[in-house]
């Protein structure tokens, strides 16, 4: 980033957005984390396992119910120039989703009549409520009400917690209580957004004549994201079935444990992604787009590399008391799986090229190639190399996806590594080898201190300048 006021203003807004999204994400993650032991205490493993399967079905159904309007309404509202356009976009999403919801209710009712499935209608209702909630909160975000977007997320999480205590613990309703708490929390959250902003009163109408070209544009943007979501699931989650089938439940347990820890990095990356998505869409047409994007990318690359090193080694040094002895051997896989998720973080950065240009169908070829390679390597490497083979498959898949997106988006925007971010990635590679080769915790701790010192020395200039400004050090340096 340069020193002109425009760059400084948008840079500061971007960082402030990161802070706002961090509050919302970390608060909701904390509530979710606290609910896990609570549910497992009052609900039997078999029942909770069945709910877990139900939730997987819900996440599968949601893209079809909401037709991925969660993504398209935000993208199109960012570009909307007046209230008429905003009303068209919001009304199209609400009306088409109402139709898809009715369709799934009818299908669910028919299936339940001929094949009684436990909690079938609760699954449909929760999928619908979560779909409307996700789209409604993206409408709020697209209209620029970021603080309401974040506060709604926090309030929803706490309502889920409170209703969970009421239905599961006090009323002893078991798994249905989890469904009720989630459905009710999201319905009330939509009511909260309406009371605060009157979004539905202003921007949603069932009498408005819809613009057919606008409908086509929204669907053209959102529909390709349905298979894209499923392909990303194949890369990130299908490996658990391979592990269970080829290695057994014990290795699946080890893999599950390291995935709990990698969620730390995923949460931090998602916070950045939400803030960067909003900034990138609004700055895509700026004259110095590539320069601005390059500055953000290099800072992002440095931060991701630093986080992987610090979190991985920090976990390694404390793993003995963080997990039971039965899971301790999973420590050897930590660094590699963080590397896989780091590559995915860069993939997410480049994905914004398709969102900015509204060419979402172009995400599919890269995802299909990466998913195909991932599945093939999973089966080829799982038996000779175990969990290592699974993680290497993920790394290769994400690397292929990243290379494809770097090449494919070169006409949409161009970014390049600077010296500092390149050095941080080289440190990441070296640290990976040291992590795998050195078992001594004392030596690992010494190495971590040395690497942190080196990372401080190579911090990118724009990031260093921002830190100095925010801590008040810049003025002191200038005065001295």
Token pair, residue 33, equals: 């984390």
Residue 45: is its pLDDT beyond 70?
no
Terminal Cα distance for the chain, rounded? 25
What pLDDT shows up at residue 338? 95
Instruction: Tell me the helix, strand and coil percentages in the chain, rounded to 5.
Output: 85, 0, 15
- Write out the H or E segment, with its range, that includes residue 160: helix 146-164
Residue 374: is its pLDDT beyond 90?
yes
Closest to 188 measured CA to CA, from 133, 134, 149, 127? 133
What pLDDT shows up at residue 455? 92
What pLDDT shows up at residue 474? 45
Contacts of 75 (CB under 8 A, 6+ apart): 142, 221, 281, 355, 358
- pLDDT per position as a tens digit, 174-226: 889 989 999 999 999 999 999 998 888 888 888 888 889 999 999 999 999 99
Domain locations in the chain? 1-223, 224-480
- pLDDT per position as a tens digit, 238-262: 787 888 788 877 787 778 778 878 8
Q: What is the pTM of this model?
A: 0.83
What would the DSSP string read from start to end of 57-97? HHHHHHHHHHTTHHHHHHHHHHH--SHHHHHHHHHHHHHHH
Share of the chain above pLDDT 90, in %: 45
Angle 127-222-190 (CA atoms, 0-180°, nearest 5)?
40
Band of the pLDDT at 367, cuts 50, 70, 90?
very high
What pLDDT shows up at residue 32? 65
Token pair, residue 470, equals: 């925010």
Question: Mean pLDDT for the chain?
Answer: 86
Distance of CA 327 to the CA centre of its chain: 26
What pLDDT shows up at residue 470? 59
């Amino acid at each position: 980033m340069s020193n002109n006021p425009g760059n400084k203003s948008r840079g500061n807004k971007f960082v402030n957005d990161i802070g706002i999204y961090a509050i919302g994400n970390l608060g909701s993650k904390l509530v979710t984390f606290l609910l896990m032991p609570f549910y497992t205490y009052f609900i039997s493993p078999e029942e909770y396992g069945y709910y877990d399967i139900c939730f997987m079905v819900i996440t599968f159904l949601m893209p079809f119910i909401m037709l991925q309007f969660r993504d398209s309404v935000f993208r199109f509202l960012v570009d909307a120039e007046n209230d008429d356009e905003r009303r068209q976009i919001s009304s199209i999403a609400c009306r088409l989703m109402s139709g898809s919801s009715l369709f799934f209710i009818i299908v669910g009712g028919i299936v339940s009549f001929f094949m009684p499935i436990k909690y079938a209608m609760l699954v449909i209702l929760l999928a619908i409520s979560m779909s409307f909630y996700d789209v409604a909160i993206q409408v709020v975000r697209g209209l620029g009400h970021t603080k309401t977007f974040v506060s709604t997320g926090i309030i929803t999480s706490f309502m889920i917690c409170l209703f969970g205590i009421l239905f599961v613990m006090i009323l002893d309703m078991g798994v249905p209580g989890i469904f009720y708490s989630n459905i009710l929390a999201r319905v009330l959250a939509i009511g909260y957004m309406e009371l605060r902003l009157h979004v539905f009163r202003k921007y949603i109408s069932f009498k408005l004549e819809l613009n057919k070209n606008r409908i086509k544009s929204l669907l053209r943007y959102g529909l390709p994201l349905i298979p894209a979501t499923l392909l990303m699931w194949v890369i990130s989650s299908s490996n658990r079935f391979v592990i269970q089938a080829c290695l057994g439940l014990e290795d699946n347990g080890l893999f599950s444990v390291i995935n709990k820890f990698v969620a730390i990095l995923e949460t931090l990356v998602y916070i950045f992604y939400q803030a960067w998505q909003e900034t990138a869409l609004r700055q895509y047409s700026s004259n110095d787009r590539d320069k601005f994007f390059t500055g953000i990318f290099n800072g992002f690359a440095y931060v991701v590399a630093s986080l992987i090193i610090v979190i991985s080694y920090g976990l390694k040094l404390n793993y003995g008391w963080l997990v039971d002895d039965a899971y301790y051997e999973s420590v050897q896989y930590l660094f590699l799986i963080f590397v896989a998720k780091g590559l995915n973080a860069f993939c997410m950065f480049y994905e914004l090229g398709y969102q900015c240009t509204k060419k979402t169908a172009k995400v599919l070829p890269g995802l299909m190639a990466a998913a195909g390679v991932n599945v093939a390597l999973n089966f080829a490497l799982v038996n000779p190399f175990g969990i290592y083979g699974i993680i290497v498959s993920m790394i290769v898949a994400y690397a292929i996806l990243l290379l494809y997106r770097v090449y494919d988006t070169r006409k949409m925007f161009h970014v390049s590594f600077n010296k500092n971010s390149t050095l941080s990635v080289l440190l990441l590679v070296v640290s990976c080898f040291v992590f795998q080769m050195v078992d001594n915790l004392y030596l690992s701790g010494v190495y971590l201190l040395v690497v942190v010192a080196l990372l401080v020395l190579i911090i990118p200039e724009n990031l260093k300048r921002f830190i100095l400004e925010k801590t008040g050090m810049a003025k002191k340096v200038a005065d001295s």
